[in-house]
Structure 1
Amino acid sequence: MPRPLSVQLYSVRNQLAADRDGTLARLAGMGFGAVEPFDVLTDPQGLRSRLDDLGLAVSGVHVRQLVDPGHDPDRVLDAVALLGATDAIVPAGIPHEDFTGRDGLARAAALLNRLSARAAERGLRLGYHNHWWEIEPRLGGLHAIEVLADLLDPAVFLEIDTYWAAVGGAEVPGLLRRLGDRVRALHIKDGPGVKGEPNVAVGGGTMPVPEILAAAPDAWRIVEFDACAGDPFAELAASRAYVSALEAA
């Protein structure tokens, strides 16, 4: 059975803050079958209960807190498990400069490998999610994220943000093919492809979405907006319709 299309809840962060339960119900009503939470420490039990009521799966959880020394990693991982997720994904928090040279990449990989072993004790998998700064630096002709992948324990997977990869200068389908089965999840988004500009509905910008999906056929698809040029619910609905039509073709 194919995995349901997911949405990163950061896309509707303001709406969640105002009305969590209503926002989740609205996403379920659009046809999304899964969500990717980003605030794992705020009421994980209540969130799971609401998701269960709506029939929404959890595709994974963003856990920047794992690399924040102000948070207890065990508490963070326990919250991920409480949500019923299997994938804990670090979306940022490692210094940008660590991706500009091999010593920094070795430090980043060592940190992620340690966290992966800790996650595995709870039956969880650890992943890493890119922005532009893991793509833009090149070492020996490779994007920094590719060098990092070679240094990571095979248990650590990648969630490739396809839009940020393009902004960082990657030819995204080719990057996905080179990374192969290290890529377990994709953030699908669209826009003008430049820093500082808002996202638009998937299919309405510059991203070669059909080619991207074809390059990583087994990766979980998660729609996300960092910032949205229009009404986020309308743009998410349009994105869901577009991606679903491509997958059905």
Structure 2
Amino acid sequence: MPEPLGVQLYTVRDALAADRAHALRRIADIGYTAVEPYDPTDDPKGFRRLVDDLGFTVPAIHAMALLDAAEPGPILDAINTVGTELAILPAGIAPEEFTTLDGVSRIADRLNAVAATAAGHGVRLGYHNHWWELEPVIDGRHALEHLVDRLDPAVFLELDTYWAAVGGADVPRLLTALGDRVLALHVKDGPVTKEDAHLAVGAGRMPVREILAAAPDAHRIVELDTCDTDFFAALAASHAHLSTLEPA
């Protein structure tokens, strides 16, 4: 059974800053039933009350601060308060590290150390890609695939399907190769370029149906980093399209 459709809240970051409760209610009114926040320490108790009241689940949270935190305990406690067991690092590693196997090994050591700390708080660590983990091809495989080989088996991936495509990956093939290491997908669409604005899911060049079929058990999380139209309208169009592909 496919996971409920969710929204990465970075998509509506400006609306959240203006009126968090109203922005979340608009997402719920569209029909989404899950949200993925991006700052666990931003009023975790108040956020938890809001999402509970609106009937949202929180399948995962982005927690970039964990990567270099001198005191990760408060961040992990906030993640526990928000109510998810999956914390994802969405950035923070120099792209150049992905261009050699030595660099990939250093990244893996770094992520494994953070994962061990997180596990002590009941939190499982994940990594979220952009294009620079896919562009380097080493010994016939994307750098991201070499990274997975070196990560502790408990460390999972949230595959950003759009950025993977921009990086040159055949995304359905990649998902099949990565298998159950992928627990979540960022479902996005657009012209598959680095520079251009993203589009509502279904309005661009991404093979969305094939991508979903290649990872049937992963969390589905819609995100638009940028958009030339109204973000909520794009989220509504994305929800409508995805609802025709599989049960939401």
TM-score bracket for this pair, using the shorter chain length: over 0.9
The count of aligned residue pairs is: 248
Q: String of CA shifts for 1:131-188, please: whole Å, max 9, x gaps.
A: 0010101110100100000000000000000000000010110011000111000000
> How far off its partner does 1:117 sit?
1.2
Structure 2: runs of 5+ lacking an equivalent: none
Q: Which amino acid aligns with 1:101?
A: T
Q: String of CA shifts for 1:65-109, please: whole Å, max 9, x gaps.
A: 11134x632221111111001100000001111111111111110
3-state secondary structure, aligned to 1:48 = helix
Q: Which residue of 2 aligns with 1:4?
A: 4
Structure 1: runs of 5+ lacking an equivalent: none
3-state secondary structure, aligned to 1:58 = coil
Is 2:87 the partner of 1:88?
yes
Which structure 2 residues correspond to residues 58-69 of structure 1 after superposition, within 5 A?
A: 58-69=58-69
Q: Which amino acid aligns with 1:77?
A: L
Distance in 1 (CA, whole Å) between partners of 2:227 and 2:168 is 22
Distance in 2 (CA, whole Å) between partners of 1:96 and 1:76 is 25
Distance in 2 (CA, whole Å) between partners of 1:192 and 1:230 is 15
Q: Which residue of 1 aligns with 2:40?
A: 40
Q: String of CA shifts for 1:207-239, please: whole Å, max 9, x gaps.
A: 000000001111110000010121100100010
3-state secondary structure, aligned to 1:35 = strand
- Percent of pairs identical after alignment? 59
Q: Which residue of 1 aligns with 2:151?
A: 152
Runs of 4+ with >6 A deviation? none
Q: Which residue of 1 aligns with 2:175?
A: 176
Q: Which residue of 2 aligns with 1:216?
A: 215
Is 2:226 the partner of 1:227?
yes
Bigger relative contact order (CA 8 A; separation at least 6): 2
Which structure 2 residues correspond to residues 1-249 of structure 1 after superposition, within 5 A?
A: 2-69=2-69, 72-248=71-247
Distance in 2 (CA, whole Å) between partners of 1:248 and 1:7 is 16
Give the structure-2-normalised TM-score.
0.97
Q: Which amino acid aligns with 2:17?
A: A
Distance in 2 (CA, whole Å) between partners of 1:124 and 1:183 is 16
> How far off its partner does 1:2 sit?
4.6
Q: Is the 8 Å Cα contact of residues 2 and 216 (structure 2) preserved in structure 1?
A: no
Q: Which amino acid aligns with 1:118?
A: T
Distance in 2 (CA, whole Å) between partners of 1:39 and 1:48 is 13
